[in-house]
Structure 1
Amino acid sequence: MNRHPFNLILALLLAALLSACATPQNNYDPIEPVNRVTDKVNDGIDRVTLKPLARGYTAAVPKPMRTAVSNFFENATYLNTVLNDFLQGKGEQGFSDLFRFLVNTTLGAGGLVDVASSMGLERHDEDLGQTLAVWGVGESAYIVYPLLGPNSLRNTPDFITATATDPLFWLSFTMVPAVTIPIAVVKYVDQRAQLLEASDMRDELALDPYIFTREAWRQNRLYLIHDGNPPKAEPLGDDGWEEEDWGSKDDGWQEDEFDRPAESGTESIESAPAADENSAEPENATHPSDKNIDAPAEKEAEPLSGNMFRINLASFRSETAATNALHMLRSRMVDSELETVTIDNQRWYRLHSSELVSGMDAKIKLQDLRSRTGIQTAWLEPVSP
């Protein structure tokens, strides 16, 4: 199993279409306003404390030493995994994990060296939240705890078992604060350092970091509960698209990925329909409210040589869908940006090329982008000087 599935899930969020809108269907977040305030406070504290410490730690401490520190703290908390192995009825895995803990504690110098993995003893990640899920406790309310971050009511009791099975917790009663406090600081700085790349991706790509983090946390929990094989996600209820609409890693984007309308009567994630190659969207374009789409107006005139244009690629109702598409475009070396626009009092997330092009080059550049991305619905928009 992946050693740090949270990083994996953040990467998956950039490559898969996930629902990240705070809608009435998201009843797992009933106290979202309170959670948002707590998350904002936590983020502010993190930016002036743990995050800079983690960056300094990463820059100053060589990777082998950081790996040894991570191994030590992971091994120290591993008895919680062993306990929950047995509580979930995974007897064979429980004995294997117990042996892994003993091997790394003795032969691995207290866990600094992961000897057990080289012996074929796989590392697992179990906790009481997963155990309760296995026992049939349903998904409970999402909650953001002060300083501790994302969690849920179902997963909260794990604080008790994780603490009770941590040898460092019991040893702390025999040590002076001058020893226990630095150990605790190193532990949390090391954990934060492991998430630097993930949080940087979130800050760069997510228009709403709260929703992005919440969905990443939930997908990570599904990943853990199902031992790395979560059930296939259902088609998104608010856009009517199927997973195959996004193509595969091998064949790239399909021609209709951004111009397929939703089923009649459903709320959709729609792209902006393309205008004629010679058309552009004037600043005062009227968008038909009955179709509820972000569409450029028809214009027969050729782009004038003195005008500047940008190329709009697609518009989405889902921020996560737009963010995923942005990541895919950038991975294909298409310099693009994401902005929010309001059409008929509805918010859309629009992707457009970063580069402005002159009227004489606009058609050529438009055709080039359509060819490179497969987005046949891209259109030109004049930009005021």
Structure 2
Amino acid sequence: MKQALNSLLHGVRLLAVAGLLAACATAENHYDPIEPVNRVTDGLNNLVDKVAMKPVTATYRAITPLPVQRSISNFYDNWAYPNTVLNDFLQGKGRQGVQDLGRFLVNSTIGIAGLFDVASSMGLEKHEEDFGQTLAVWGVPRLAYIVYPFLGPNSLRKTPDLVTSTLTNGLFWVSLAVAPPAALTLTALRYIDLRSRAMSATDMRDELALDPYVFTREAWFQAREHLIHDGATSGESDGWGDDDRWDDEDWSETPAETLAVAAAPSRAHGAIGVDGASPARAEVGQQAPVSRQGRVRLYHVILTSHAVYAEALRQQVALRKLRIATRIEAVTIHGRRWYRVQLPDPLPIEKAARMLDEMKRRTGLAGAWIAPAQSP
């Protein structure tokens, strides 16, 4: 629960920094194969939150002074910190592991059982590692997204961390040794504290998102990628990958219908371009294939492509101000996920080429390009 709420909070912050000022658009997500089930669970979680957790948390925030809230958060973070230390070493981060062990010992002693974060003032930086990140470092690929009842967003790759984070938490063992009422009080206060930290983020999500489920899912995935790569981003470009291949069984090329498509620069830019867009690609002299049944192959007009969902949303908002309707499509190329801002409907290649020229003229996005739609 702690990791899920922290990931959601961090992901929403990423989206806010990116300048998200309008509603979300739904993107295709290949890592959410049980989306209908997840949506039901998410709805039940939101109902419980609305009826119970949010009112209780609002009362807690109203009557508890901020310094006390901060100390409570420090206390729970400190006793959960051995999980970070363990996964430091499992990921081969020996130096960081020693530093994090020192941080835990300092805050547990000088910081009075973790109520005060003395270690940060001593230069011992706080890190966040978990077994889900460790599995990613070990080469386990991204697995399906899943929403657990009462626990919230997660994935099959991160699920084993529910065990390791529990067994390495000192309060878990304390709760086994004390009377049940005391253990229940510790647990209840922990979840109220976690909900309090996420209050501003979830309020913003509910206010801005047309589809809060998609917003939460994409924010969660972006936060996980940020943690797994220690804040680094991949520079891999979005090109013509496996997802864009033509099916030779369904399509053949007709030389008479050959149409040259203007080559795009290596980077999208212009009046409303967004920094961080991946290099755009276009094919020159591409032939317009038709099916053996005489159907003309259709093409998408893609304006920009981004490694971060928030940037795609920001680009979509900018285009909306120019009265250009778009949709965001998630594609996976060479194992990396990209978010394409493209026109809603695919077109025959002649119309797609004309529309491409018009979009470049209207938007200044010289890096726009076209790509064949998937075969029906």
TM-score bracket, normalised by the shorter chain, equals 0.5 to 0.7
Partner of 2:64: 61
Q: What CA distance in whole angstroms lies between the structure 2 residues aligned with 1:170 and 1:243?
A: 54
Partner of 1:286: none
Partner of 1:128: 131
Residues 1:265 and 2:296 aligned together? no
Give aligned-pair identity as a percent: 51
SS in 2 for 1:21: coil
Residues 1:200 and 2:203 aligned together? yes
Does 1 or 2 have the higher relative contact order (CA < 8 Å, sep 6+)?
2
Task: Find 1:154's aligned residue among 144, 152, 157.
Answer: 157
- Mapping for residues 204-283 of structure 1, pairs under 5 Å: 204-232=207-235, 244=269, 246-247=272-273, 265-268=299-302
Partner of 1:381: none
Residues 1:92 and 2:95 aligned together? yes
1:60, distance to aligned residue in structure 2 (A): 1.4
Partner of 1:110: 113
Contact 1:82 1:98 in 2 (8 A): yes
Residues 1-22 of structure 1 show CA distances to partners (whole Å, capped at 9, x for unaligned) of xx95643421322426999634
Partner of 2:261: none
Task: Find 1:75's aligned residue among 74, 78, 81.
Answer: 78
What amino acid maps onto 2:46 in structure 1? Answer: D
Task: Find 2:323's aligned residue among 314, 319, 340.
Answer: 314
**Closer/same/farther in 2, CA of residues 243 and 162 from structure 1, 3 Å limit:** farther
1:234, distance to aligned residue in structure 2 (A): 5.3
Partner of 1:10: 12
Partner of 1:258: none
Instruction: Give the number of equivalent residue pairs.
Output: 267
**Closer/same/farther in 2, CA of residues 5 and 178 from structure 1, 3 Å limit:** closer
What amino acid maps onto 1:229 in structure 2? Answer: A
Q: What CA distance in whole angstroms lies between the structure 2 residues aligned with 1:243 and 1:55?
A: 45
Structure 2 unaligned blocks of 5 or more: 244-263, 276-297, 305-319, 331-343, 346-361, 365-376
Q: What CA distance in whole angstroms lies between the structure 2 residues aligned with 1:33 and 1:151?
A: 15
SS in 2 for 1:265: strand
SS in 1 for 2:32: coil
1:267, distance to aligned residue in structure 2 (A): 4.8
Structure 1 unaligned blocks of 5 or more: 250-263, 271-310, 322-342, 345-373, 377-385
Contact 1:207 1:319 in 2 (8 A): no
Task: Find 1:190's aligned residue among 174, 193, 208.
Answer: 193
Q: What CA distance in whole angstroms lies between the structure 2 residues aligned with 1:223 and 1:165?
A: 23
Q: What CA distance in whole angstroms lies between the structure 1 residues aligned with 2:112 and 2:198?
A: 26
TM-score w.r.t. the length of structure 2 is 0.64
Contact 2:25 2:210 in 1 (8 A): no
1:163, distance to aligned residue in structure 2 (A): 0.8
Q: What CA distance in whole angstroms lies between the structure 2 residues aligned with 1:218 and 1:112?
A: 31
Contact 1:71 1:111 in 2 (8 A): yes
Partner of 1:21: 26
Partner of 2:184: 181
**Closer/same/farther in 2, CA of residues 70 and 51 from structure 1, 3 Å limit:** same
TM-score w.r.t. the length of structure 1 is 0.62
**Closer/same/farther in 2, CA of residues 63 and 89 from structure 1, 3 Å limit:** same
